[in-house]
A = this chain, B = another copy of it.
Amino acid sequence: MGKLVIVGTVAFDAIETPFGKTDKILGGAATFIGLAASHFGIDAAAVSIVGGDFPQDYLDLLENKNIDISGIEIVKNGKTFFWSGRYHNDMNSRDTLVTELNTLADFNPKVPENYKDAEFVMLGNLHPLVQASVLDQMTTKPKLAVLDTMNYWMDCAWDDLMNVIKRVDVITINDEEARQLTGEYSLVVAARKIHAMGPKYVVIKKGEHGALLFHNNDVFYAPALPLEEVFDPTGAGDTFAGGFTGYLAKTGDISFENMKNAVIYGSTLASFCVEKFGSERMQELSSDEVQKRLMQFKNLTQFEIELS
């Protein structure tokens, strides 16, 4: 069982969907990643920054999930990163209403001493220089570094992004981002080009259409669970990444065959995330529920054809 370092935002989100809206609730990439990874009984630490306005209750919540929060810096006279967005009717696109960086603007991540030898590192979506700084602080080369990013950094920090991408083993990215990163429409060709940038493993997230895992000429496809409705997709990609990395950290096995299982765990956890606003569903999720849903994923995808 490997230790896991998670870097990412811990934030306030205010969300509007066709089903309703929220006030400021607990959000942020490191929150979703941490809540997902907490299902694997591993030692995980969140590295982030919040302001003095961040409720102790939220910190307690993370700590009660066995997430080490000693790497979450609290800036007493600062404010916590705040994002607000409104989803369109198809839930596949959204408008950002508010982005207040606040303390995040001066975020210098500090990996806790006892996590600098962690075997697993999950770099949540942040400025690529911040992601790189976490890798710089590791005293031993991690067994597996996983990076998530988004189109924003492709637009405004291309060189920094390329520099950190070439240092990681796995990239998780959505289909449109993969196309933007490579200029290729075909995801198969895009994955090959991303391999050439550095990562040996490429995970392309397709939302309701599932996720693809590429490694050289191998490919694995995990569907998303077909749902009556997606209540709120916020955090689903981060939850996927947390489930993926948490499972690998628990098993310590980074073979392609085991990464298939990791993708299924990521998809399973993400399928819960979208059932309620923000991280609400992930805060209350039991391991029994996870096991039942894994069975649904088996029924959804497994078949019995004898090959001659």
| Interface: A186 (CB within 8 A) | yes
How far, in whole Å, are A261 and B206 apart by their CA atoms in the complex?
24
CB under 8 Å from chain B, chain A span 291-308: 291, 294-295, 298-305, 307-308
Q: How far is the CB of A270 from chain B (nearest CB, A)?
A: 15
Report yes or no: B188 in contact with A227, Cβ–Cβ below 8 A: yes
Q: How far is the CB of A199 from chain B (nearest CB, A)?
A: 17
Report yes or no: B304 in contact with A301, Cβ–Cβ below 8 A: no
Q: How far is the CB of A294 from chain B (nearest CB, A)?
A: 6
| Interface: A122 (CB within 8 A) | no
Stretch in contact with the other chain, from A65-73, A128-136, A216-224:
A216-224
Q: How far is the CB of A297 from chain B (nearest CB, A)?
A: 8
For residue A209, which residues in chain B have a CB less than 8 angstroms away from its CB?
Answer: 206, 209-210
What is the oligomeric copy number? 2
Which has the most chain B C-beta neighbours within 10 Å: A210, A228, A298, A305? A305
Report yes or no: B305 in contact with A229, Cβ–Cβ below 8 A: no
Beyond A90-B185, A188-B227, A227-B186, whether A261 also contacts B305 by CB under 8 A is: yes
Beyond A209-B206, A291-B307, A308-B291, whether A301 also contacts B221 by CB under 8 A is: yes
Report yes or no: B221 in contact with A257, Cβ–Cβ below 8 A: no
Beyond A223-B210, A226-B212, A294-B305, whether A218 also contacts B299 by CB under 8 A is: yes
How far, in whole Å, are A185 and B298 apart by their CA atoms in the complex?
25
Report yes or no: B212 in contact with A303, Cβ–Cβ below 8 A: no
Report yes or no: B304 in contact with A226, Cβ–Cβ below 8 A: no
Report yes or no: A303 in contact with B260, Cβ–Cβ below 8 A: yes
How far, in whole Å, are A220 and B297 apart by their CA atoms in the complex?
9
CB under 8 Å from chain B, chain A span 197-255: 206, 209-210, 212, 218-221, 223, 226-229
Report yes or no: B219 in contact with A221, Cβ–Cβ below 8 A: no
Binding site for B on A (CB under 8 A): 89-90, 185-189, 206, 209-210, 212, 218-221, 223, 226-229, 257, 260-261, 264-265, 291, 294-295, 298-305, 307-308
Which 6 pairs between the two chains have the least Cβ-Cβ distance? A221-B223, A209-B209, A260-B303, A188-B228, A188-B226, A261-B305
28 contacts between A and B (CB under 8 A): A90-B185, A186-B227, A186-B228, A187-B226, A188-B227, A189-B229, A206-B209, A209-B209, A209-B210, A219-B299, A220-B299, A220-B300, A220-B303, A221-B223, A221-B226, A221-B300, A257-B304, A260-B303, A261-B303, A261-B304, A261-B305, A265-B305, A291-B307, A294-B305, A294-B307, A295-B307, A298-B305, A302-B302
